[in-house]
Structure 1
């Protein structure tokens, strides 16, 4: 019997604090969870600020102290970590969870590192029963489960999955997190040191070892989407989301076919105005400025609560038939919605899903169970028709 169901590692950081606060508010009185970080004093301060009970356990753990990381992993059923960039601070924790048979969820959008962890720990996690689940935030749950929702509906209506799906971000308010920006910078720095990573980063099948499917739409340049009658532009999170979607298909034994094609883009608008907007978006780097949030910092509660997103998934069947699915969220994607998604992912592993060990995606391991939790508790909707 482990001491805890969930340890929130990184609880003194901005996103980790939001996760801990969500657990306090959404599940009052629920015991068997703890807050972890480098400083007991800072953990106690956050515990009091978020209204957690005074007896909420505090666990001191530091990525620079492997023994403390191992001890943390051995005490809990699930480690929920917001301590990134994961390629700088996460490898030891993944290894410790794999060795201890401990489930793990994070917010990783760093595909080269994820592939390294798959290669290093997938078999060990299978042996010990550790369920390692990356990308349990805005990248990539709404997209992973959005595709799954559409494919469920396609099989029901047409008797077969859609071989081609377009993911389209129709509306979104709220920025990306400081951790996302830091992760991208760390990834680019790693690629500069090791150019071979560039090929991995460019491949839609970077997370499907031993399998490479058909050529995929790149989504790297503005284009006119005849299906929508609108111009679309590159979406900054597509390089991680598309890889996770293909890994879900891969892990499930290719229920959507080995020839499945998928891409993601942002809807820019109609006519000449839409074309100009798409071209402007394609030249914009939201991480280029130093004005964005720093790791550990983030927007106000008012800004988080006023954020939202609206995602459209278009399934195209071989006979020309079309089926759509829509995913919405009622908080800003980078913080408010993400903190809820990762918390519910951890709870899903504790309460709803067993499954074999290994390195998973949210969709492949938790699927409909997680979707139901997010609809009931986290402000997301999933519809198809």
Structure 2
């Protein structure tokens, strides 16, 4: 489909914390030929953001759009090839922009780690986007690019070596330094409220295949838990230490499983996937692992109970809050994804990057996802609908992230 638009990319929510970081990244790193705009509710605030960007952004247009005004979102969607949305929680504020982009044939990326929002987006707008040619791509930040692209490059290497399908596969957050965002906390808070009030939402939230395009066709692989405490040797021979549950695993695992299903189970019908985080190799690591697991449970329980929720709301980061520039720059992450193939071979894929995972590194991942969709169209997979980073962007995103300084590799282990 040939599309003529005034802009290549619009950053919607550019006055928010991650929106500003994404605009800053694009102003520094996007090719000068890229036509970029800033969108939000306030002209004055958008102009203030624009004035603080690299001088190359001085002429970026400003677009007024509001989540409560569907007409403005439609106008936003038809103005650009790609819309970046940083306005969450997406279950509250995001679905009408998905509608607008799906109807207009406009590609869309966001930071959502919200499974219920993803399911609603699929149910309501996947076929609409297929018909229009739009790529609707959720989870283009730390949720869930290291997971989804990590398995993508792992599968490519295994296939190139002729070593069959992926079977038991585990992502380990090997190292990470960074803070949790207020937006993530707000999304968790919204999820807790929704599943308490709606039993059907609760069933979706706990289903390991909740984002599947064809639930009836998914393989029966038994219990797949999002809360795992493992020895390193349970994951791969020679891997030491202990692991604890990973906060984002409940979203990331479902995104990766959706990629497998959208590719007609190309990773394998016996592909089992889980995520954990390393807590080290000291004699106290089992205690640390138990503490992390208990802490995650306490957070969810605390947000569900009125008196403790009031106290947590006073100390947890608020939406729009985040670490300062020095803290963002000192952050980093490394994820290692281990697999055993159907031939018995063992492989590992690594993604590593500098910068706070939820802020600095996420701005790179989100920005490069949008740039790939806008400028690398000939290199993209032939796909449309509500997709995933791997199925919508794939190798084009791998190439861009490597050029931006990310380490992305896969090898026999």
- Shorter-chain TM range is over 0.9
> Take 1:216 and 1:271, find their aligned partners in 2: how far apart are those partners?
30
| Paired position in structure 2 for 1:233 | 244
Where does structure 2 lack aligned partners over 5 or more consecutive residues?
303-311
| Paired position in structure 2 for 1:210 | 214
> Take 1:110 and 1:184, find their aligned partners in 2: how far apart are those partners?
8
> Take 1:201 and 1:175, find their aligned partners in 2: how far apart are those partners?
25
| Paired position in structure 2 for 1:25 | 28
Return 312-321 or 30-39, whichever deviates more: 312-321
- Equivalent position SS for 1:5: strand
> Take 1:365 and 1:310, find their aligned partners in 2: how far apart are those partners?
23
- Equivalent position SS for 1:171: strand
| Paired position in structure 1 for 2:135 | 131
Quick check: 1:197 aligned with 2:201? yes
> Take 1:71 and 1:239, find their aligned partners in 2: how far apart are those partners?
34
Instruction: Please report how far the alpha carbon of residue 193 of structure 1 lies from its aligned counterpart in structure 2 after TM superposition.
Output: 1.7
Show the 5 A alignment for 1:4-153: 4-27=7-30, 29-52=32-55, 53-153=57-157
* Contact 2:213–2:262 (8 Å) recurs in 1: no
> Take 1:356 and 1:203, find their aligned partners in 2: how far apart are those partners?
25
| Paired position in structure 2 for 1:246 | 257
| Paired position in structure 2 for 1:224 | 231
* Contact 1:143–1:167 (8 Å) recurs in 2: yes
- Equivalent position SS for 1:6: strand
Return 195-204 or 217-226, whichever deviates more: 217-226
Return 208-217 or 111-120, whichever deviates more: 208-217
| Paired position in structure 2 for 1:272 | 283
> Take 1:32 and 1:50, find their aligned partners in 2: how far apart are those partners?
15
Cα pair distance change 1:51/1:198, threshold 3 Å: same
Q: 2:177 aligns with which of 150, 156, 173?
A: 173
* Contact 2:214–2:261 (8 Å) recurs in 1: no
> Take 2:402 and 2:338, find their aligned partners in 1: how far apart are those partners?
21
| Paired position in structure 2 for 1:299 | 323
> Take 1:122 and 1:84, find their aligned partners in 2: how far apart are those partners?
20
* Contact 2:50–2:60 (8 Å) recurs in 1: yes
Size of the alignment, in residue pairs? Answer: 384
> Take 2:203 and 2:232, find their aligned partners in 1: how far apart are those partners?
27
* Contact 2:208–2:224 (8 Å) recurs in 1: no
User: TM-score, structure 1 length as denominator?
Assistant: 0.96
Q: 1:314 aligns with which of 313, 335, 338?
A: 338
| Paired position in structure 2 for 1:363 | 390
Instruction: Please report how far the alpha carbon of residue 2 of structure 1 lies from its aligned counterpart in structure 2 after TM superposition.
Output: 0.9
CA offsets, 1:128-148, max 9 Å, x none? 111100000000001101111
Where does structure 1 lack aligned partners over 5 or more consecutive residues?
none
| Paired position in structure 1 for 2:266 | 255
